[in-house]
A and B are shown apart, each in its own frame.
Chain A
Amino acid sequence: MNLGYYPGCALHGSSDDYQQSLKACFGALDVSLKELDDWICCGATAAHTLNHKLSIALPARNLALAAQQGCEELVAPCSMCSLQLKKAQKAISGDALLAAEMSRIVEAKPDGARVLNLIEALERVGLETIKTAVKAPLKDLKVACYYGCLLTRPPKVAEFDDCEQPESMERIVAALGATPVAWNYKTECCGAGMTMADEDTVLELSQKILADAAAHGAQSVVVACPMCHVNLDMKQSAIEARYGTKFGMTIYYLCDLVGLALGLAPKTLGINRHFAGRIA
């Protein structure tokens, strides 16, 4: 299987452990990820906060590249990127004037590729396919599936799973032999991009997530977004210091778990580069 791949800035920056995990995992599933050539930043929070046109134009440029490079399905493992791409697509397809303006601004037609977040990409590979490929079931792993905000919201844009009680990640995790716990903070915000500018907010919100996961018996948390990972993993020691609680929770990327179940070594998946918790 061939899928287009839009890394986004985080996966080429301080979250490149996510990219390492993704490539190893999809490689083991015999899926080839072709990186979009000369892709640019999707704009993330900064664009939609400061300039409306830019927040559509930057994703539109990437959609145009996808069209030019014959890419029909584009995996965007960062949930912010996947949402921004989907948002731009929706806005353009519903408004001919906007489509014309965007074509002018990005100097090409931003035709649609089908944008897939990480979970959608794994579903595209197929739950049954993954299940049959499992070599080392993740028994004894109790994990809290954390969706964060942008995988399922806003529902009319993301068009993915149920935004109140999503189950798509749980289905994959269960197929890997692990036990997804029932908990209350599946879709509560971790503080998003406020990590540097408003650390207090991130610590407060992320602490609630870790505390609830622990209270419901989870030993670790699994995510599908690099921002969530930063806030729950890199900031975990700051959370522990601020609130006086020890969590020691490993924060896995979903492809980490898939890779482990497929028999890949933790180091291959970059799990040793996480900050918090034990290796596996």
Chain B
Amino acid sequence: MSRIGVFVCWCGENIARTVDVDRVVEEVAKLPGVRCAVNYKYMCSDPGQTMIREKIASEKLDGVVVASCSPHMHLKTFRKAAQTAGLNPYLLEVANIREQCSWVHSDRDEATEKAIELIRMAVAKVKNNHALQPIKVPVTRRAMVVGGGVAGIQAALDIADAGYEVVMVEREPSIGGKMAGLSETFPTLDCSQCILTPRMVDVGQHPRIKLYTYSEVEAVDGFVGNFEVTIRQKARYVDITKCTGCGECSKACPLKKNKSEFDFGMGSRSAIYMPFPQAVPARPVIDKNVCAMLTRGKCGVCAKKCAAGAINYKDEDKLVKEKVGAVVLATGYKLYSIGKQDGKIAGYGEYGYGMYKDVIDSLQFERLLSASGPTNGEVKRPSDGKTPKNVVFISCVGSRDNAKGLTYCSKICCMYTAKHTMLYKHKVHDGQAHVFYMDIRSAGKNYDEFVRRAIEQDGAKYYRGRVSKITEQNGKLIVRGADTLAGTPVTVEADLVVLAAAMRPADGVTELAQKLNVGCDQFGFLMESHPKLRPVETNTAGVYICGAAQAPKDIPESVAQASAAASKVQITLSAAELTREPEIARINEKTCAACFRCFEACPYHAIEKAEVRNRKGELVKRTARVNAGLCMGCGTCVSICPSKNADIEGFTEQETYAMIESLI
């Protein structure tokens, strides 16, 4: 005979206002198997938990039902309390009489009846519960960071400084990300590279960081604590162990007019090139699509010039495997491309980007401002190299635009636009900056003062209104906008137009996310587990996200999130073994027919095809087997198994049917 204890919570007024908790206790006490039933104002409080523990001891309970708020809130709290009192925690169930009852109904009688029924179901379930033990999974105490921008760098350094080995995978030939290409950062106007490159060097020299640059994640196998990642090291055609970084190859290369990726097309580079002078690693790479030797078998000048003999035209992609226990995705962003893109996101034909040379985007303007940029930090028009005297900055290009397809606010543009006006003014003293904006979003520390400085001290003209069209006439860009505050259209004849394009997730992120079973939102940003309380975790255990890959954000936020992700990684790697909740699938291997429909259906690839052999090693039968580390307990295998051999511990068919039968 069961000895179940039922504890009904008032949750202050949240439950008690609608549900008659006294009557509930009266009724459920009559249920067969219920030893005691009490109610209390706040079950989750210390006295409430103490009550549960004391009753478990005094009434020798073998099962507990707490009727309270959602199990998401306090299931763990109550189970811990039960465990302390010596009861297996999985013999405790929560009946949700708040979110599923008192918060959604107003009729007191009906709500009370429903609460009683919910508890009746929970009691029926608990009677059928088995005691379960948590699952232990071994942990590879190494981490991987995908993405070498400021977020990835911060995460890698934090994890490595904490004593763990980190494998960093970066797609470009150098780490540094977008921040390495910025001129100065808001609100301090620190030189971007000056504050980043020390960190980059730290990463490059750290004894515990293994850096793969010009590499991408090819495949991921395994589960939390036990990932095996296949990395594709793309062919550089330069042996970076031999290369001294002298730069003679780039100087000698005859093909100098290729659009530089680092300068976002504003400058040129040779076919063999160092991404930028402060690159880590400071080694060149050959662009195999333009190199004469690699495409036509001619030239070879760089190899002749190389004193170290580091050029290798026969280089090939290599696949390397690394075992890690946790993965951090810090893949960063790219800018909205303004022209039409992938059919779903419309472009801005009205702004002439791509048609008019002097209409550029914000990252391109950063390169013009940067002292190490293609114009050595002088602001020059791309069309004729003249100094622009009137520069128009347009905010919200691509963002906050339902008609074009990206509805979100890109967060950083108001701030960097103000910064652009200030940097422009500092370089061109007689220049005039014009900004067309809808709102100013400057919510960080010293941010609003920064924007006001741009307007009040550096003379930027701000017009509140969007721009409808840009045309080119006699070398000038005619910008037709509006100022809704004065109620008038505003036309500016500009020498240069800078479009503050929206931040979007980097290319290839959706494919990478799929390899790791991480979700993306409708815009392609990586999905956090909970927007408020779990911003750096994902729904896949062991995979964490940080930085602009998760949502548009600035450098301080990216760095903060990176450290947050690093701390989560350290939790995962903190012990040699990981404990997982045992509420996962279980397959009866004796009677499994090995049809493997569960294998096909499992979204986490957590089912293995296993063989059962006898003592002689002969094959007895095949069976499906659950990988306890990967299984997330979704129940798909249970519903698909035609022979009813799959079940979920803690939510078995028997328990579920008991709940249903208790209602009939």
Contact = CB atoms under 8 A, between A and B. Distances in A.
Interface string A99-119: 000000000000000000000
A212 B472 CA distance: 11
Interface residues of A, number: 7
B350 A184 contact: no
Interface of B: 348-350, 355, 471-473
B350 A164 contact: yes
Contact of B472 (A164, A165, A184): A184
12 contacts: A162-B349, A163-B349, A164-B348, A164-B349, A164-B350, A165-B349, A165-B355, A184-B471, A184-B472, A184-B473, A212-B473, A215-B473
A-B pairs with the 6 shortest C-beta distances? A164-B349, A184-B471, A165-B349, A164-B350, A162-B349, A184-B473
A211 to B, nearest CB: 10
B75 to A, nearest CB: 48
A163 B471 CA distance: 15
Contacts of B473: 184, 212, 215
A133 to B, nearest CB: 32
Contacts of A184: 471-473
Contacts of A162: 349
Interface in A148-201: 162-165, 184
Contact residues of A: prevailing secondary structure: loop
Interface string A200-224: 0000000000001001000000000
Contacts of A215: 473
A185 to B, nearest CB: 8
Contacts of B349: 162-165
A231 B473 CA distance: 23
Nearest to A163: B349
Nearest to A182: B355
Given A165-B349, A184-B473, A212-B473, 9 more contacts: A162-B349, A163-B349, A164-B348, A164-B349, A164-B350, A165-B355, A184-B471, A184-B472, A215-B473
A82 B473 CA distance: 33
Interface string A65-86: 0000000000000000000000
Nearest to A185: B471
Nearest to A212: B473
B405 to A, nearest CB: 14
Contacts of B472: 184
Nearest to B472: A184
Contacts of A163: 349
A164 B355 CA distance: 12
Nearest to A164: B349
Contacts of A212: 473
B46 to A, nearest CB: 61
A164 B346 CA distance: 11
Nearest to A183: B471
Interface in A214-249: 215
A164 B354 CA distance: 13
